[in-house]
Homo-oligomer: A and B are copies of this chain.
């Protein structure tokens, strides 16, 4: 096991009715900016519940944070934070709203050019406004970590930053608020969480037994519960299991002391920036091909994955590995997320464009062993056609 430094101070309020508790977690005199997206929270009752909970607080609103939140939009919110002397943010929505709010929190207190937070990574973040979240879409895990991914529309760049200053103070997870999610978002969320686990688990063994068991536990839960979330959308426990799994998939816990990959995400980000595919769609396309192309480097973990997650432990090793990858792909499609570039109308020309973008952004040595060069990325993309 590698050395590690784990820290995660986000308070999680989980369960039906927990939105009412947020009033007690935000200082009474705070000037609160509530951030949200396109307005689905006005249909599903979340908006009303949040406003009711904060009846005693001063609350302003910033709406319109888009999927793959843009620097351009978020800088408008930063201006509002400054002009309105906001001192607490409340993100209400999915991962995009939470990610966007992290950037607003850091940029509002950043002296200098805000884009540097993304260009130079979170290391330059010295302070951030405190904020909480009310999560409506289980997927990214952003509600319990210090990471965010932001897109600059002007240049089609998708960049991330990470800082211990931008952990949410609290996050409210009410599974019943996910009953009305569109099926596409349910499927995307499960695939996203699954891929987050795989990026931290499917590398090479370092004798980190409990991290492996936890990762496998999340994967097994997503495999069992994900399809039920599609077929039984009002089942509270199913939604609760999916929601908590998605949080645990990226709150740092399963990634401590182990190598991490993230090459699938890096390639996926370019696909989204260029062609506006959903984030989870890009992961569903890239991950199976990445596992096939890097089968030798990942061999020991692929066999462990085949045995413990898919119950495949007899017969020829290569057959087991291929079967495990095929089941992974089938699971993604079963969740309604297609797994080939062609499914989204993309072809060889897109392969060239993505590889060029990776090179332009310095993404030339990806993966847990830095061996995913542009040539390897090309191979992965070609296998995904």
Contacts and interface: CB of A to CB of B under 8 A. Distances in A.
B11 A4 contact: no
A237 interface: yes
A310 interface: no
A240 to B, nearest CB: 4
Contacts of A216: 213, 217
A300 interface: no
Q: Which of the four size classes fits the interface of chain A?
A: 35 or more
Interface in A218-272: 218, 220-221, 224-225, 236-237, 240-241, 244-245, 248, 253, 256-257
Contacts of A18: 3
A127 interface: no
A18 B5 CA distance: 9
Given A6-B14, A15-B4, A220 B213 contact: yes
A47 interface: no
Given A9-B9, A216-B217, A257-B14, A241 B210 contact: yes
22 contacts: A1-B240, A3-B15, A3-B16, A4-B14, A5-B11, A7-B12, A8-B9, A9-B9, A14-B257, A207-B240, A207-B241, A208-B240, A209-B221, A209-B241, A210-B245, A212-B217, A213-B213, A213-B217, A213-B220, A214-B217, A216-B217, A217-B217
Contacts of A209: 220-221, 224-225, 241, 245
Nearest to A239: B1
Contacts of A2: 15
Contacts of A221: 209-210, 213
A4 B12 contact: yes
A17 interface: yes
Nearest to A217: B213
A3 B19 CA distance: 12
Contacts of A237: 1, 206-208
Interface string A175-199: 0000000000000000000000000
B9 A14 contact: no
A178 to B, nearest CB: 14
A13 interface: yes
Contact of A241 (B5, B8, B208, B240): B208
A218 B207 contact: no
Contact of A1 (B5, B213, B214, B241): B241
Contact of A213 (B8, B17, B218): B218
Contacts of A206: 237
A204 to B, nearest CB: 14
Contacts of A8: 8-9
A242 to B, nearest CB: 9
Given A4-B15, A209-B224, 17 more contacts: A1-B14, A1-B237, A1-B241, A4-B12, A4-B14, A5-B13, A7-B9, A12-B256, A14-B256, A207-B240, A209-B221, A209-B245, A212-B217, A213-B216, A213-B220, A213-B221, A216-B217
